[in-house]
Amino acid sequence: MKPWACLLVGVVACGHRVAEPEAKPETTAAASHSSSASTSSASARSMTSASAAPRAASPGPSTSPTSSPSGARCLVPTPDEPTRPSPAKGPDPRCPKDPDGPLPLRRATVRVAGLDATVDAEVAERDEHRTRGLMFRKELGEHQGMLFIFEEERELAFWMRNTCLPLDMLFVGSDGTIVGIEENVPTLNDGHYAPGACKARYVLEVNAGWSRRHGVKAGQKMLLGGL
């Protein structure tokens, strides 16, 4: 993997988005761009050491995860108001030049149950796809995004290294439940963004503000078709 790309996935990986876990770091953190144990282009939770990961970034002031007394699904409730300000429109003027060009990825339609919220998503399902994520992109349509798929449910964290568009990151469990949303994640930073210690198998990255505009919240179900 390239040295400039690193993602945190339940542990920190080396690359843009994802990597295999290494030794745990002394602290834990949640992470588009990437990691909690350890996380696209934005797409962090309980962090371990740093290898490489998708875009990891440090978590904003998110609400603490909650779960039912029976130990049901862990969720980070969506606050009434976003914890980060709405970003400026368009790509960051500091956006670096793309050295390789985007990878050809298959696409899938992702929907949120009961809402008029549909995304035509590029599917990042291999290490090289997840490592790069949405890096260097300068445009993304309102109903476009990238869906990161991992082999199993785990604590994930993402960062925004080389990611030029502000994003919302939706962390989704194996059963399709949205366990947490990182909203208005700022561009070009190495912080870690993640839904607390809640585990996820999928991360959907879309334009910043998309979740609010379409009424999408933690606890709702994402329909992933045959993925």
CA–CA distance, 7 with 30 (Å, rounded to integer): 12
What does the block give as tokens for 127?
């290490």
Say what the pTM is.
0.76
Percent of the chain with pLDDT over 90: 65
Per-residue pLDDT for 24 more than 60? no
pLDDT band at 27 (very low <50, low <70, confident <90, very high): very low
Per-residue pLDDT for 178 more than 90? yes
pLDDT at site 76: 97
Averaged pLDDT score across all residues of the chain: 78
Is domain 1-59+105-227 in CATH 3.40.30.10, yes or no? no
> 62 vs 26, which has greater pLDDT?
62
- Check the CA dihedral 63-67-8-140 and report its sign: negative
Which of the given ranges, 16-30, 57-71, 151-165, has the highest pLDDT on average? Answer: 151-165
152 Cβ contact partners less than 8 Å away, ≥ 6 residues apart: 174, 201
pLDDT at site 226: 67
Mean per-residue pLDDT for 135-141?
A: 97
Per-residue pLDDT for 86 more than 90? yes
Q: Which of the residue ranges 66-70, 74-78, 124-128, 163-167 would you say has the lowest mean pLDDT?
A: 66-70
Per-residue pLDDT for 141 more than 60? yes
